[in-house]
């Protein structure tokens, strides 16, 4: 009897009628648990080898008893490292999506054994829906994987890219992708930028390494906030987040939340918050989302398209809808009629569009 009361209480903690995404402070590596308003769960990456007590205890505290779906970005040990420990305690009920290949490492062998026959290769454009028919569905779409057509054998650049959509809230989850052709990295971000939607939340690629998050990519997705998983007290990192990556995020006007202090750039108090476990949440139909950090602090942001004009870059002269063939000077009254999620701006006229004939200079 006591057990039954306890378990139903915990279950209430897990599912609360709102969308929740828990970015767990696992160190330099990723693990994020999505809980739909109706209580379905998706685990995006599975923590860091040798620090598995952290995600297991966090999921336990949430009152999770099983996991419906897993979406694994790539096979590095800081992204698949705790699959065995997590699934032993919280069995996987449905599908483990990943990039569908093999990788020569012990953590990969353990991962493969743990997901077993539930493993499925993601397909670009494929989507799956949580709470179907509820009127407040969560839709996860796979945008790209395995280099998005660019030849590479760099495991980071093969990352599976997922877009999470709940009403107007969109979250970009792209693992450890790169945005520069340097060292043995390839610029995958610029390739994806052309078709990328504007998002509210960006899980910053590759823990904000110097080769991630290029300006083309940031201007395309225009996140309101970035989430960065860094090493903190969990052993040695790699000098992340990198100074130049942070500079690009700040220049693009993106506030960031870090799961811990890193061992690279210092947080800039104007822009960056070291917040432990970071929880992004939204109520159905609300047009805004909250970010909870350090246990009890909460920030609220409007979704794009609602009561905000800060997206217009100050150095831009022109603006246009991504769906229109004409462009305008920024002070043209037509600019205000463009939905903010379609608005693009620049200091040069866009290719292939013509100037609005009556546009005031």
Report the nearest approach of Zn ion to the CB of residue 293 (Å): 21
- Which of 76/328 has CB closer to Zn ion? 76
Report the nearest approach of Zn ion to the CB of residue 29 (Å): 6
Report the nearest approach of Zn ion to the CB of residue 100 (Å): 17
- Which of 30/344 has CB closer to Zn ion? 30
- Which of 157/344 has CB closer to Zn ion? 157
- Which of 90/185 has CB closer to Zn ion? 185
Report the nearest approach of Zn ion to the CB of residue 145 (Å): 14
Paired strand residues for 69: 42, 95
DSSP string, 273-301: EE-SSEEEEE-TT-SEEEEEETTTEEEEE
For residues 235-258, one letter each, b for 16 or more C-beta atoms within 10 angstroms of the residue's C-beta and e for the rest, the string is: eebeebbbeebbebbbebebbbbb
Whole-number Å distance between alpha carbons of 29 and 5: 35
Structure tokens at 297: 């602090």
Whole-number Å distance between alpha carbons of 67 and 94: 8
Residues at the interface with Zn ion (CB under 5 A) = 76, 78, 156, 176
Report the nearest approach of Zn ion to the CB of residue 155 (Å): 6
- Which of 41/156 has CB closer to Zn ion? 156
Instruction: Tell me the CA distances in angstroms from 18 to 40, 138, 222, 266, one per residue in order.
Output: 11, 11, 24, 33
Whole-number Å distance between alpha carbons of 68 and 66: 7
């Amino acid at each position: 009897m006591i057990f039954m009361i306890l378990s139903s209480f915990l279950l209430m903690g897990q599912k609360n009628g709102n969308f929740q995404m828990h970015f767990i402070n696992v160190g330099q590596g990723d693990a994020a648990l999505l809980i739909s308003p109706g209580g379905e769960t998706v685990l995006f990456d599975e923590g860091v080898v040798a620090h598995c007590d952290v995600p297991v205890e966090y999921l336990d505290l949430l009152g999770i008893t099983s996991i419906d779906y897993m979406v694994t970005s790539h096979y590095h040990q800081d992204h698949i490292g705790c699959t065995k420990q997590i699934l032993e305690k919280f069995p996987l009920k449905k599908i483990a999506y990943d990039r569908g290949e093999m990788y020569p490492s012990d953590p990969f062998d353990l991962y493969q054994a743990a997901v077993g026959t539930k493993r499925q290769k993601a397909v670009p454009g494929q989507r799956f829906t949580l709470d179907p028919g509820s009127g407040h569905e969560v839709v996860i779409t796979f945008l790209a994987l395995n280099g998005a057509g660019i030849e590479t054998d760099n495991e980071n650049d093969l990352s599976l890219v997922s877009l999470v959509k709940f009403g107007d809230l969109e979250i970009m989850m792209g693992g450890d992708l790169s945005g520069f052709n340097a060292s043995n990295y390839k610029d995958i971000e610029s390739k994806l930028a052309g078709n990328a939607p504007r998002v509210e939340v960006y899980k910053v690629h590759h823990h904000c390494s110097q080769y991630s998050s290029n300006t083309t990519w940031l201007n395309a997705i225009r996140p309101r906030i970035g989430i960065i998983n860094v090493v903190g007290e969990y052993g040695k990192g790699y000098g992340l987040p990198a100074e130049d990556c942070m500079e690009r995020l700040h220049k693009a006007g993106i506030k960031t939340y870090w799961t811990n202090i890193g061992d690279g750039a210092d947080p800039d108090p104007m822009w960056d918050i070291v917040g432990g476990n970071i929880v992004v949440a939204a109520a159905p139909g609300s047009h805004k989302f909250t970010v909870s950090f350090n246990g009890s602090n909460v920030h609220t942001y409007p979704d794009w398209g609602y009561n905000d004009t800060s997206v217009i870059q100050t150095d831009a002269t022109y603006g246009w809808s991504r769906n229109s063939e004409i462009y305008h000077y920024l002070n043209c009254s037509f600019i205000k009629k463009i939905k903010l999620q379609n608005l693009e701006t620049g200091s040069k006229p866009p290719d292939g569009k013509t100037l609005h004939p009556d546009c005031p200079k």
